[in-house]
């Protein structure tokens, strides 16, 4: 069976950025997704489409085809008073590099990374952590099968997670 839309797939891989290993996903605990439903980057899907169990892959995604280039407009200065809780501000939050979960004006969740801090304000970076990075993937297709009734129900419920432990996709 080949990887194509609406197939349940499991992948083992190593992700490197500039030669440094960023993530390792093993055969024993593979990443499981339903192919063709936006769980993977479009160019990632292009590189694995048509592969079968046991097939290896090795490809690079340029930043523009992964999480995009760094967007200067995604750096936002916020007053520290926005982080006040019960009249107190936890200054430890503002350590450069610290990731703070936030919500935008529409209630959408997003993570911001502290870029810099002054006495009155902080600059948050809302770019994806891998924005501006070329991604090198090497790996293997661990499983390809038709969706089970449980996976179909999960898809209909729009779980939209990216691995077995999040969704219990029963893929191996």
Q: Above 70 in pLDDT, residue 161?
A: no
Overall average pLDDT of the 25-47 stretch:
95
- Tell me the C-alpha distance between 41 and 38, whole Å: 7
Overall average pLDDT of the 28-48 stretch:
95
Q: Above 70 in pLDDT, residue 159?
A: no
Architecture label for domain 7-67+131-167: Roll (3.10)
Lowest mean pLDDT, pick from 15-24, 72-81, 162-171: 162-171
Q: How many Cβ atoms are within 10 Å of 112's Cβ, its own excluded?
A: 20
The domains of the chain are located at: 7-67+131-167, 72-125
Which residues lie closer than 8 Å to 2 by C-beta, 6 or more apart?
50, 51, 52, 144
Query: pTM, whole model, 2 decimals?
Result: 0.78
Mean pLDDT of the chain: 89
**Domain covering 72-125 in this structure, CATH number:** 2.40.10.330
pLDDT digits (tens, 9 = 90+) for 79-111: 999 988 998 988 889 999 999 999 888 989 999
- Tell me the C-alpha distance between 21 and 164, whole Å: 21
């Amino acid at each position: 069976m080949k990887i194509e839309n609406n197939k349940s797939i499991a992948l083992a891989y190593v992700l490197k950025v500039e030669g440094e290993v960023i993530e390792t996903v093993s055969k024993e605990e593979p990443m499981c997704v339903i192919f063709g439903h936006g769980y993977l980057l479009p160019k990632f899907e292009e590189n694995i489409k048509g592969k079968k169990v046991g097939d290896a892959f090795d490809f690079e995604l340029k930043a523009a085809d992964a999480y995009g280039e760094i967007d200067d407009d995604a750096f936002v200065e916020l007053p520290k008073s926005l982080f006040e809780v019960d009249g107190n501000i936890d200054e430890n939050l503002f350590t450069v590099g610290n990731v703070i979960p936030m919500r935008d004006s529409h209630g959408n969740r997003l993570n911001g990374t502290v870029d810099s801090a002054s006495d009155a304000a902080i600059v948050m970076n809302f770019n994806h952590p891998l924005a501006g990075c070329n991604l090198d993937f090497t790996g293997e297709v661990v499983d390809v099968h038709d969706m089970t009734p449980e996976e179909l129900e999960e898809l209909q419920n729009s779980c939209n997670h990216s691995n077995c432990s999040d969704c219990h996709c029963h893929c191996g």
